[in-house]
Chains A and B, each alone.
Chain A
Amino acid sequence: MHIKNYTHRHSGKVAQFEVRFTRYLDNKGNVVNTPLPSWANKSDVLIPLYKNMIQTRKFDQAALNLQRTGRLGTYASPLGQEAIGAAVASSMWAEDVLVPSYREFGAQMWRGVTMTELLLYWGGDERGSDYQVPREDFPVSIPVASHCCHATGVAYAFKLRKQKRVAVCCLGDGATSKGDFYESLNAAAAWHVPAVFIISNNQWAISIPLNKQTSAQTLAQKAIAAGVVNEQVDGNDLIALRAVTERAIDEARFGEGPRLIEALTYRLGDHTTADDASRYRSQAEVEEQRSNDPILRLRSYLLNAGLLTEADESELNQECERNAAAAVEQYLATPPQTARSMFDYLYAHLPDSLRRQRDALAGQQCDG
């Protein structure tokens, strides 16, 4: 019998829920919750994460500079959200699969996507999604929430093949208003697959603030309707994020079913370089959020805990700047693809009917 029998039930409460919130560091980087995770005093764990956040920000500055000088297309800045990528990717195994939206550069870089590849993609070159290292990771999904379904499917493949792997999907607050999001969670739970969904709730979906997006108290609770275990975390607190994502991904990996995490953060930049956020939100709001910068919070913690010195920090900053500059140079030096490349990967074998179009394009190029 698979159906739920209600015929003998009395009136009254039949279900109840709560959503847990986790934070370890306050806005100044002071510890407000103990005990801290066991790795919170280990520089070999935290410094690479801090470096990833710095690298993401240096990359962002380089990309914005390229865009403003006409050498990069429309680009979506992750400014202010750097802790999430570092925490999520460092909680994954190499053989897991990341299914990212379009603002997850930190996570992608941690997993081996190069800054040159990222620049190529935003610079209008498909080769930027031919990641040389995380070969099975998805390219970024521009259509919002449609990629949630992919994570459920990838996770189903892991389950079918009895692999201890996890599909991790990163999405934004706007995505939680779409049916794809709910359909993906619902099936992930019904099929009990190892998928973890991470919402970067940065409060704004272009110009739509959260209170116009939903009347729900939290976005995490949207998972409850699908039967997915969920929680909320301070998305600018690296320590809390890492604790929560590591546990959720491990649980999914070892057969406990899908998980959802809502990470509360703030988009300090415009939606993309094609956007002007001053049209819909005040500068005062943005300034207030700057004091909640995840890099500053972790920095204070690391300095206070004696895990980082100002000299280390200056070295880290310089190294990350050099890395970004080298990627920019490599990106700018990459010759463009041939025009015929638009035919080369359309099908495994180009159908005869398309050969004529390809040859016409080639002929046109010869004619100049």
Chain B
Amino acid sequence: MAEITLVEAVNQALTWEMSHNENVLVLGEDVGVDGGVFRATVGLLEKFGDERVLDSPLSETLISGASVGMATQGLIPIAEIQFMGFAYSTIDQILNHAARMRNRTRGRLSCPMVLRAPFGGGIRAPEHHSESTEALFAHIPGLRVVIPSSPIRAYGLLLAAIRDPDPVVFLEPKRIYRLAKQEVPNNGDALPLDVCFVLRPGNDISVVTWGAMTHEVMAAAERLADQDVSVEVIDVATIKPLDMKTILESVEKTGRCVIVHEAALSGGWGAEVAAQVAEHGLLDLLAPVRRVTGYDTVMPLYRLEDEYMPSTDRIVNVINEVLEFA
């Protein structure tokens, strides 16, 4: 079996599900003939035709809003927003309509749709192309927010997102679109939503993260292993709803917790994780919970983006500080 990249895994999942469910369609800017600006939808037009692989006008509000209309009719639209920086006008549709349709009609209508968007920094992209604002979506009741961290997880979680009966925002860390390859069995098996994945078991400290940052965290864990520190790495994957059970069990074991995300510190989703650890796991803690994140600044243009995003060094330093506490 050939190894594939994360973006190829996205394509593989889309192809699988479109082949097996005629209600599934893809829409967005440049998703058809062009195959998507990151080539996530390449080949779909040829396989499924232009009615199910729909090149849309340049119109993010419409892409998300039309998806709501399609979903209430039993289609499963997978809308691509080209970059997360252009997804903010979709929040009206996601918050006011998609995520509350089931509730406001008492189950009469629902919105089984997926809104995909690449996000995060690290690819030297232009302004507005590098932010990590997953917390804006994670705050919305009735929604799922899912972030894969590897080709295997991208394939399995995207299939799960498409099959989920409720709306899912699926954020793809574009920095790792082509960073690493894995063998991904193309068998249509989904991974579970709403649960964290333990990427590396450990006993001394729990590091909670998601998306591209799993790579820096795993590198930090590797480096600390040389100093006989055993780091447990948790990939949250579905950040909303949040599987605190896995995180709290880990913290109960290790007594120490660090949260790592690329997004800004204040009001980032790490704040929610930290608050829940404090509420439900305080007596297990041997040290304060710490966060390693982007700063509360505007995401800088690309010459400074490496300074903004948590590095392996910053993560290692904070882990050491937490380990040295008392």
**A contacts, CB < 8 Å to B:** 97, 99, 126-127, 129-131, 135-136, 138-139, 141-143, 146-160, 167, 179-180, 183-184, 186-187, 190-191, 342, 345-349, 351-354
- Taken together as a complex, chains A and B put the C-alpha atoms of A153 and B64 apart, in Å, by 9
Known: A126-B104, A139-B104, A160-B25. A180 touches B241 (CB 8 A): no
A347 touches B73 (CB 8 A): no
B72: which A residues are within 8 A, CB to CB?
A: 136, 138, 150, 153-154
Given the complex, which residues of B lie within 8 Å of A146, measured CB to CB?
Answer: 61, 65, 92-93, 96-97
At the interface with chain A, which of B51-59, B152-160, B174-182? B51-59
Size of B's binding interface in residues, CB under 8 A: 47
Q: Chain A residues near B105: list those with CB within 8 A.
A: 126, 129-130, 139, 345
Task: Determine if B62 and A149 form an interchain contact, defined as CB atoms under 8 angstroms apart.
Answer: yes
- CB of B75 within 8 A of CB of A149, answer no
The residues of B that contact A154 with a CB separation of less than 8 Å are 69-70, 72-73
B172 at the interface (CB under 8 A from A): no
> Which of B56, B74, B104: most chain A CB closer than 10 A?
B104
Instruction: Select which of A167, A183, A345, A352 is within 8 A of B107 by beta carbon.
Output: A345
A354 and B57: CB pair below 8 A?
no
Known contacts: A157-B69, A180-B61. The answer to whether A149 contacts B108 by CB under 8 A is no
B59 touches A150 (CB 8 A): no
Q: What are 21 A-B pairs with beta-carbon distances under 8 A?
A: A129-B108, A130-B107, A136-B72, A143-B96, A146-B97, A147-B97, A149-B61, A149-B68, A150-B72, A152-B66, A153-B65, A154-B69, A154-B73, A180-B92, A183-B61, A186-B59, A345-B102, A348-B102, A348-B165, A349-B165, A352-B194
Q: Which of A157, A187, A191 contacts B73 (CB 8 A)?
A: A157
Segment at the interface with A among B204-212, B225-233, B242-250, B305-313:
B242-250
The answer to whether B70 and A156 touch across the interface, beta carbons within 8 angstroms, is yes
Contact of A353 among B68, B89, B110, B241 (CB under 8 A): B241
Closest chain B residue, CB of each to CB of A348 = B165
Question: With A146-B93, A149-B93 in contact, is A186–B62 under 8 Å at CB?
Answer: yes
Q: From DSSP, what is the main secondary structure of chain A's interface residues?
A: helix
Query: What is the chain A residue whose CB lies nearest that of B141?
Result: A346
Of chain B, the residue at the smallest CB distance from A353 is: B241
A25, B285: Cα distance in complex, Å: 79
Taking the closest CB of chain A, its distance from the CB of B277, in whole angstroms, is 14
> Which residues of B have CB within 8 Å of A126?
103-106
User: A41 CB to closest chain B CB, in angstroms?
Assistant: 39
Q: Is B67 an interface residue (CB 8 A)?
A: yes
Most buried by B among A129, A141, A183, A352: A183
Q: How far is the CA of A349 from the CA of B57 in the complex (A)?
A: 34
B69 touches A149 (CB 8 A): yes
**With an 8 A cutoff between CB atoms, is B109 at the interface?**
yes
Contact B108 A131 (CB under 8 A): yes
Q: Could you say which of B71, B106, B110 contacts A127, with CB atoms under 8 Å apart? A: B106
What is the CB-to-nearest-CB distance from B22 to chain A, in angstroms, rounded to a whole number?
Answer: 10
Residues of B within 8 A of A349 (CB): 165
A347–B102 CB distance below 8 A: yes
Contact A129 B69 (CB under 8 A): no
Roughly how many angstroms separate A132 CA and B66 CA in the complex, as a whole number?
Answer: 24
Taking A153-B68, A348-B166 as contacts, is the C-beta distance between A129 and B57 under 8 angstroms?
no
